[in-house]
Amino acid sequence: MENKLVRRTAIFSTALLTLCLSAPVFAQYVWIDANNVRHYSDKAPPSSIPDSRVLRTPGSGKTGVTYETVTKATDSKDETPNATVPRAPKTAADMNAGYQKRKMEQAEKDKKAAEEAKAAEERAKTCETARTHQKTLESGVRVGQTDKNGNRTILNDEERARELQEVRRIIEKCK
């Protein structure tokens, strides 16, 4: 019985001590200075800080001015009073919609990057094939082609020159 009393007294004392030590945390001023640096203090902000930049005062909780409001007002090029309208807090649905939007944009970027990589790979393959064909045409070896009827014909000098000109045009695009 005496052991339980000692234990309860210790728990109660610890809870009371914790409450007393955390009380100064609630007596905090929070403000943002001219350099957009957030300050926490148990003393009031300097008189040079306007009330619109004080985020919290002891005993009053939030003043209705949020960090986003102050930064929006200071970042805005338009110094009109409308620039300090507080933003509504984001709901879970808004945050989820933003996440889904970013996810879709990233998927589109990834798809576009994959398509560009595939196109670059195909261009490289086409260029390599054109270089090989150019070497074959310039070597002087007899080159044959198969026409649409399946008949094989050998390129004459005029056809070889046209073919070589076309291959060089393709290779020019590869550079």
Residue 15 vs residue 114, higher pLDDT: 114
**Domain around 54:** 26-84
Q: Does some domain include residue 1?
A: no
Query: Exposed, middle or buried, 37 (CB in 10 Å: 0-12/13-18/19+)?
Result: exposed
31 and 74 in a common domain: yes
Q: How many domains does the chain have?
A: 2
Q: pTM higher than 0.85, yes or no?
A: no
**pLDDT at position 104:** 96
| 98 domain residue, yes or no | no
Please indicate whether residue 111 or residue 157 has the higher confidence score (pLDDT): 111
Q: Do residues 160 and 167 make contact, with C-beta atoms less than 8 angstroms apart?
A: no
What pLDDT, in 10s, does the model give residues 87-119?
566 788 888 888 999 999 999 999 999 999 999
pLDDT per residue over 24-45, tens digit each?
Answer: 555 578 888 888 888 888 788 8
Residue 144 counted as domain residue? yes
Residue 66 lies in a domain: yes
For residue 120, being part of any structural domain is answered with: yes
- Is 101 inside any structural domain? no
